[in-house]
Amino acid sequence: MSGIVLSAAVRQNLLSLQNTAELLSTTQNRLASGKKVNTALDNPTNYFTAQGLDNRASDINNLLDGIGNGVQVLQAANTGLTSLQKLVDTAKSIANQVLQTTTGYTTKANVTTTAGAVGTAGDLTTGGTTSLQGKTVILTPATGPALTLTFSNVAGAGNVNSLAALNTAIAAAGIGVTASISLTGFLTFTSNNDNASQSITTSGAAAANTVSITGTTASAIVAGSGTPVVDPNSQTIRASLVSQYNNIITQITTTSQDSSFNGINLLFGDDLKLTFNETGKSTLSVPGVTFDAAGLGLGPLTAGTDFLDNSSANAVIAKVTAASDQLRSEASALGSNLSIVQIRQDFAKNLINVLQTGSANLTLADSNEEAANSQALSTRQSIAVSALALSNQSQQSVLQLLR
């Protein structure tokens, strides 16, 4: 107020008291909020720098939810792969049981030719006037090239002159028959154990699961049966194994379909993309696979057609083994991606802590220091009040004289 005149001493003490009150207010505000920088007016550089750090920490923290979901998607797929591997191993075990059960046929297909008498097992062409010398046999499987052999005591490509050489050539061609000498001294061709279900024919073309035997020896096939005789008991067991195998195949498909998390199934064709930083430039793409039965190269079997003999069982085992290899390869890739995501998840958490700590270092107040400041300012304020009172004593003395 312009009408009030204060002495220099009073004005000085009043100014000091006002400054102390302002400092005390600032200190109390810091103690209450825990921050030494509450607005841009307190410290523009620290305020905006801390705000940028906090914003980045918040953006990364928002990404952590997506990363966490990604970890669970990978965990779900890994759980599915583990179960699929067990199912595939069970299917392989069932196929192996076929190899251990009795042969499905009491009599295998066999034919005997009288085109030429056999000399000895070591020299087939010494059979006298009805010798096999110069005669040929052509074995044609249902799949693959035909095998043509000539019985000759002259060494040469395609020539054989002993039972061992004949069987070696047949086995090397992958044809499922074995040659032997009959009790009457002639050659007999019999389906081997692995191909017990196949038939033998003398026509030029071989139907499915059939071997055709032609050549100059075929015209004299007079004995044997080209069709195997079924063992009912053994085939009943094999049909039961087919049913068990098909149940496993069904479970492989349903397990693959059920291995999802939050609508994403890496085992049934879905892909996963994860973002690791706030700019969207750091990402990881995990391609999905289709690992139902068909995707693994497996399918249901048919009773009366499959598991009839060792050959059909071995064919199934080969497919199951290939499926197992696929699962192991995918498990390795999935494990690698899971490790990457978990590492990035931990990195993001640690980075958020670093950013928040940096922000705190720029804005947070030292409570011990501010408490000490508050105590000191309170003392200073009391002293200032006392000093102001002393400075007014001279004016009070004048007042006493006027009275």
> What is the rounded CA–CA span in Å between residue 244 and residue 228?
26
pLDDT per position as a tens digit, 8-63? 666 666 676 667 767 666 676 766 666 777 777 777 888 888 888 889 899 999 89
pLDDT band at 104 (very low <50, low <70, confident <90, very high): confident
Higher-confidence position of 274 and 392: 274
pLDDT per position as a tens digit, 322-333? 999 999 999 999
Determine contact, residues 305/278, Cβ cutoff 8 Å: no
> What is the rounded CA–CA span in Å between residue 110 and residue 227?
8
Determine contact, residues 323/88, Cβ cutoff 8 Å: yes
Residue 123 has pLDDT above 70, yes or no: yes
Any alpha helices (H) in 4-43, and if so which ranges? 8-33
pLDDT per position as a tens digit, 279-298? 888 999 999 999 999 999 99
Categorise residue 237: left if φ over 0, alpha if ψ from -120 to 50, beta otherwise.
Answer: alpha
pLDDT per position as a tens digit, 334-346? 999 999 999 999 9
Instruction: Identify the DSSP state of 364.
Output: B
Domain ranges of the chain: 59-101+233-355, 105-230
> What is the residue whose two structure tokens read 């028959």?
177
Determine contact, residues 295/272, Cβ cutoff 8 Å: no
Burial 309-325 (b: 16+ CB within 10 A, else e): bbbbbeebbebbeebbe
Residues 363-367: contacts with CB within 8 Å, 24+ apart? 363/35, 363/36, 363/37, 363/38, 363/46, 363/47, 363/50, 364/34, 364/35, 364/36, 365/30, 365/31, 365/33, 365/34, 365/35, 365/36, 366/36, 367/31, 367/34
Average pLDDT over residues 124-141: 78
Topology adopted by domain 59-101+233-355: f41 fragment of flagellin, N-terminal domain (1.20.1330)
pLDDT for the residue 296? 95
Provide the pairing of β-strand 177-181 with 187-191: antiparallel
pLDDT for the residue 386? 67
Determine contact, residues 46/362, Cβ cutoff 8 Å: yes
Higher-confidence position of 229 and 330: 330
pLDDT band at 273 (very low <50, low <70, confident <90, very high): very high
> Mean of the per-residue pLDDT values for the chain?
83
Neighbouring CB atoms inside 10 A of 207's CB total 12
pLDDT for the residue 221? 56
pLDDT per position as a tens digit, 140-153? 888 888 899 988 88
User: Quick check: helix, strand or coil at residue 84?
Assistant: helix
Residue 251 has pLDDT above 80, yes or no: yes
> What is the rounded CA–CA span in Å between residue 294 and residue 268?
11
Higher-confidence position of 20 and 177: 177
Residue 389 has pLDDT above 60, yes or no: yes
When mean pLDDT is compared over 59-68, 205-214, 316-325, the highest value belongs to: 316-325
Average pLDDT over residues 79-101: 93
Determine contact, residues 78/339, Cβ cutoff 8 Å: no
pLDDT for the residue 7? 59
Higher-confidence position of 190 and 36: 190
Higher-confidence position of 399 and 230: 230
> What is the rounded CA–CA span in Å between residue 57 and residue 62?
9
Question: What angle do helix axes 393-402 and 367-391 make, rounded to 10 degrees?
Answer: 20
> What is the rounded CA–CA span in Å between residue 300 and residue 327?
19
Determine contact, residues 150/158, Cβ cutoff 8 Å: yes
pLDDT band at 397 (very low <50, low <70, confident <90, very high): low
pLDDT for the residue 171? 92
Question: What angle do helix axes 8-33 and 367-391 make, rounded to 10 degrees?
Answer: 160
Any alpha helices (H) in 258-402, and if so which ranges? 310-363, 367-391, 393-402
Residue 391 has pLDDT above 80, yes or no: no
Burial 352-377 (b: 16+ CB within 10 A, else e): beebbebbeebbbbeeeebeebbeeb
